[in-house]
């Protein structure tokens, strides 16, 4: 028997769209993994990808067939938003570990059923909030851990991206309520995830307002929420994906000893500081997925499987992010009514 550190896992990828190539390359970059199955509605595409990337992989057109393949140990789900939950449930019930593109579900009920299925199956899970592994996020975490800001009491997190109909290959489905979901679910969930990473305590109350100002989406593509935390801290998180808006991902944190604004900071730890200090780093300054750090995400899930620990962004962590999203959307529907977390 091979030592656990030498074990190899067969990976199956469902959905061969915009983000799938980055998943595939990251799985190839992990020494414990081999991509053994690809699933697309177009069999020829699944076959051509196998040839293009030099894989010994089977081609499937039905996700159910892929998850039943005994050679598949891990399933990467890269389909449209509305399919994530059902396909992840099927994979977990087949005993496969799962990596699920965000969002994990479009409704609270779907999300609950997915979390229950993964828990019952005892498989490992990772949700694709890959910015956890971005150099910029790593720097923010390091500054917080060394106490450069002291007690954080206020934060702002924003996802701004416009003119998606001009550049996003998934526009036909992402702008619909049934398949794209909402401004937070389709895009701004990365900002909500950042809020949960960097603010102290757990979200307790949220109030939000939303609007559809350009009428290019079926849902409200602009939403802004104010969140109070168990620590007493407060934060604003927004997603604006309509209109003529250059892509911007904002992070601002205020603490009693310092402040972070993007890659600049001031801190009492530097008593001679007279202005902003800037950290040269790779910023999350484009929506193009080829720019994002998927390798760290896949490596973390594989290490979690080998070591038996939870993955960094497992289903239970992602549920908290999505609960905040669903609560904010409920508040917006009800005219800014405060919603208490966790949701029932």
Residues of the chain with pLDDT > 90, as a percent, come to 91
pLDDT digits (tens, 9 = 90+) for 42-97: 999 999 999 999 999 999 999 999 999 999 999 999 999 999 999 999 999 999 99
pLDDT, residue 3, reads: 47
Shared domain check, 285 and 300: no
Same domain, residue pair 302 and 194: no
Distance CA(260)–CA(127), nearest Å, equals 26
**Same domain flag for 270 and 246:** yes
Mean pLDDT of 312-323: 98
Q: Do 121 and 221 fall within a single domain? A: no
Domain that holds residue 159: 132-289+322-340
Q: What is the mean pLDDT of residues 300-319?
A: 98
Residues 231 and 282 in one domain: yes
CATH value at residue 161: 3.30.360.10
CA separation, residue 303 to residues 7, 141, 148, 299 (Å)? 11, 21, 30, 6
Alpha helices in the chain (DSSP H): 20-28, 43-52, 63-68, 84-93, 108-121, 135-145, 164-167, 171-174, 183, 189-198, 294-307, 315-333
Give residue-wise pLDDT tens across range 123-133. Answer: 999 999 999 99
Phi/psi-derived region of residue 15, left when phi > 0, alpha when psi is between -120 and 50, beta in every other case: left
Residues 139 and 284 placed together within one structural domain of the fold: yes
Query: Do 140 and 27 share a structural domain?
Result: no
The verdict on 20 and 153 lying in the same domain is: no
Residue 153, number of CB atoms within 10 A of its CB = 18
Q: What's this model's pTM, rounded to 2 decimal places? A: 0.95
Average pLDDT over residues 278-301: 91
Which residue in 176, 166, 171, 275 sits closest to 217, CA to CA?
A: 176
What φ, ψ does residue 285 adopt, rounded to 5°? -110, 20
For residue 179 the two structure tokens come to: 């398949």
How much is the pLDDT for 5?
A: 56
Residue 95 sits in a domain whose CATH number is: 3.40.50.720
Looking at the structure of the chain, the number of domains it has is 2
Nearest to 44 by CA among 34, 32, 33, 52: 52
If asked whether residues 26 and 105 sit together in one domain, one would say yes
Do 265 and 328 lie in one domain? The reply is yes
The residue-averaged pLDDT of 258-278 equals: 97
Same-domain status, 147 and 126: no
Same domain flag for 91 and 142: no
Least confident of 63-67, 98-102, 241-245, 331-335: 241-245
Q: Quick one: average pLDDT of 171-184? A: 96
Distance, CA of 226 to CA of 157 (rounded, Å): 11
């Amino acid at each position: 028997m091979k030592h656990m550190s030498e074990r190899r896992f067969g990976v199956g990828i469902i959905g061969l769209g915009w983000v799938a190539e980055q998943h595939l390359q990251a799985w190839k970059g992990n020494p414990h993994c081999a991509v053994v199955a690809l699933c697309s509605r177009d069999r020829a595409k699944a076959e051509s990808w196998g040839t293009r990337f030099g894989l010994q992989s089977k081609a499937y057109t039905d996700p159910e067939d892929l998850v039943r393949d005994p050679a598949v140990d891990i399933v990467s789900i890269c389909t449209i938003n509305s399919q994530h939950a059902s396909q992840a449930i099927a994979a977990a019930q087949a005993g496969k570990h799962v990596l699920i593109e965000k969002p994990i579900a479009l409704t609270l009920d779907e999300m609950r059923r997915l979390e229950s299925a993964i828990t019952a199956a005892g498989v490992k899970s990772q949700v694709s909030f890959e910015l956890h592994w971005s150099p910029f996020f790593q720097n923010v975490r390091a500054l917080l851990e060394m106490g450069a800001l002291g007690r954080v009491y206020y934060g702002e997190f924003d996802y701004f991206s416009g003119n998606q109909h001009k550049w996003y290959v998934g526009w036909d489905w992402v702008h619909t309520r049934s398949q794209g979901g909402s401004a937070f679910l389709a895009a701004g969930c990365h900002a909500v995830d950042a809020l949960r990473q960097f603010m102290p305590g757990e979200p307790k109350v949220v109030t939000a307002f939303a609007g559809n100002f350009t009428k290019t989406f079926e849902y409200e593509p602009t939403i802004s929420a104010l969140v109070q935390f168990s620590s007493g801290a407060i934060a604003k998180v927004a997603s604006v994906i309509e209109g003529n808006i250059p892509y911007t991902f904002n992070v601002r944190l205020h603490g009693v000893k310092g402040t972070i604004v993007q890659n600049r900071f001031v801190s009492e730890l530097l008593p001679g500081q007279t202005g902003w200090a800037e950290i040269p780093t790779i910023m999350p300054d484009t929506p193009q997925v080829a720019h994002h750090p998927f390798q760290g995400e896949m490596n973390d899930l594989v290490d979690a499987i080998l070591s038996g620990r939870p993955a960094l962004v497992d289903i239970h962590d992602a549920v908290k992010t999505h609960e905040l999203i669903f609560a904010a959307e409920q508040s917006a529907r009800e005219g800014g009514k405060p919603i208490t977390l966790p949701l029932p």
